Structure 1
Amino acid sequence: MAIDLKSMNHSQLSDLIARAQARQRELVREKAARLRDKIHALVEAEGLGIDDVLGSRAKRSAVVRKVKPKYRNPATGETWTGRGKRPRWFSAALSAGKKEKDLLIG
């Protein structure tokens, strides 16, 4: 199936790209489902369960650990863990002459 890209306008190309990306995601999901089914069949054929093969790692990877806040905005009480992009209030406080240690929690 040949598609004449030169005859398409911007809107048509955008639509084509969106549909192609959606199809690509669909194919990945289908492939993953087939692979998952194969893995389950292999594990069951051996008389084991998924937990027996993967152990507790499979369970641990799904757990999201909450990180305690490290910094607090004295004006508003907002907090930041120190991970990821700095919040605006933190950058503004540093620009105003505060030090990181001034914003530390306890």
Structure 2
Amino acid sequence: MNLEDMSREELTKLQKDVAAALKSFDERRMKEAQVKLESMAAEMGFSLADFAGAKKAKSAGLPPKFVHPENPAKTWSGRGRQPQWFKDAIAAGKTEADLAI
């Protein structure tokens, strides 16, 4: 294939085809890796879910202890870094008891 002999339209189509082929290639490789990892985990008595997001699952299950004074959708469990809204409320004179649920 000689790129010099191709028109702009042909080159643009080729570029799109190559981009699609690369994406498909990456997806296939990712699926192959996932199958291998699932097999390895199963051989040892685990599943990939046992490894993926294990820390998030623990912290996500904590009930909230504090609520934003103006936006009840924003909550904090009291563990980890203090959210900025919590810091701002404390700096503005609120107490932890004021923000407690």
TM-score (norm 2): 0.52
The count of aligned residue pairs is 60
1:48 is matched with 46
- Rounded to whole Å, the distance in 1 between the matches of 2:25 and 2:48 is 25
CA RMSD of aligned residues (A): 2.5
- Rounded to whole Å, the distance in 2 between the matches of 1:26 and 1:58 is 30
Percent pairwise identity: 15
Deviation at 1:53, TM superposition (A): 2.5
Secondary structure, counterpart of 2:51 in structure 1: helix
Which of 7, 10, 24 is residue 8 of structure 2 equivalent to?
10
2:29 is matched with 31
1:63 is matched with none
Cα pair distance change 1:35/1:12, threshold 3 Å: same
Deviation at 1:48, TM superposition (A): 1.1
Gaps of 5+ in 2: 59-69, 72-101
Query: What code does the residue aligned with 2:30 have?
Result: A
Which of 16, 19, 24 is residue 17 of structure 2 equivalent to?
19
Query: What code does the residue aligned with 2:18 have?
Result: A
Q: Structure 1 segments of 4 or more deviating over 3 A?
A: 57-60
Cα pair distance change 1:19/1:7, threshold 3 Å: same
- Rounded to whole Å, the distance in 2 between the matches of 1:40 and 1:47 is 10
1:93 is matched with none
Gaps of 5+ in 1: 61-67, 70-106
